[in-house]
Structure 1
Amino acid sequence: MKPSLPQRIRYICGGTLPASMSDWVLRDLTGPGAARRYLMRLLIPILAPLCLFLLIPGPLWMGLAMMALLYLPLIYFAVALMYVYRRHRLVAHGLDPALADARERERAAAERAAYERRHGR
């Protein structure tokens, strides 16, 4: 079941969805494209207020430089805190926070099994 438009807007702004939508939340936070969706939800809306720097009198490069001084660290910290954010959102929806890195654990287990097969352990 997918959330309605008002539910989706509330979800994007940090609200929680009903327990009946836990599967959708899990797919949204841990499924394919989760990192892309997270970054788009955070980085695209902030561009509108940053464009106000372009209204400051002076050369265009100055407004763009001021935008970059705020936007580049935002990108850095958004990527750095993505895992923490996912775990927080899973806990807020009553899901196990360990699901945030389930794919990485599966990949590590597969690598370990392949290593043991190759080297006879």
Structure 2
Amino acid sequence: MDGGEDSATVRGQDTGTAAPPAVAQQPPLTGRVHYLLGGTLPPTYNAWISRDLTGPGWRMRQAARPFVLMLPFAVIFALLPGGAVVRAATVAFLLVAGAGLGFATSGFFRNRRLEQHGFPPVFPPHDEEDDE
């Protein structure tokens, strides 16, 4: 006898959380930069966040974040005085290390970002102390 309303609406909850929109609303450029740097986006972008963290290609996007964050440092080291070989090796090391760390930590940081935005983690946390 709720007049055809969804039970979530009757309880006073937001109807947007019950059914995500078919098209994910993409945050503006400033929001994406904030998100790239580890910030939390408003719930209106939850569908976009979910697609970003669980959709196809999520590992490449997660691995690209440290690589992109390492680019300004690579440019600075490339512009410092010194031998061209030393500068090139330093830049290559920074970029390869950024990409390697991105791939190595992508699952951990994906879970952290999912929990940060109110989603359940994909992989359950693993405690080393429980194995003993």
Same fold, TM exceeding 0.5?
yes
Q: CA RMSD in A?
A: 2.1
Structure with greater helix share of residues: 1
1:93 corresponding residue in structure 2: 117
Superposed CA offset, 1:26-58 (max 9, x none): 100110122222233321342232122233333
Superposed CA offset, 1:61-115 (max 9, x none): 11111223333232222111000000000000000102x69xxxxxxxxxxxxxx
2:108 corresponding residue in structure 1: 84
Q: Which runs of 4+ in 1 moved over 6 A?
A: none
- Normalised by the length of structure 1, the TM-score is 0.69
Unaligned runs of 5+ in 1: 102-121
Residue number among 8, 19, 23 corresponding to 2:47 in the alignment = 23
Partners of 2:72 and 2:42 in 1: CA distance = 31
Q: CA offset at residue 59 of structure 1?
A: 2.4
- Normalised by the length of structure 2, the TM-score is 0.64
**Percent identity among equivalent residues?**
34
Unaligned runs of 5+ in 2: 1-24, 125-132
Residue number among 72, 81, 90 corresponding to 1:48 in the alignment = 72
Matched, 1:6 2:30: yes
Aligned pairs, how many? 100
Partners of 1:83 and 1:67 in 2: CA distance = 26
Higher relative contact order (CA 8 A, sep 6+): 1
Partners of 1:35 and 1:60 in 2: CA distance = 33
Change (3 A) 1:6 1:57: closer
2:81 corresponding residue in structure 1: 57
Change (3 A) 1:20 1:52: closer
* More displaced stretch, 51-60 vs 4-13: 51-60
Specify the code of the residue in structure 1 equivalent to 2:96: L
Specify the code of the residue in structure 2 equivalent to 1:76: G
For the residue of structure 1 that corresponds to 2:45, the secondary structure is helix
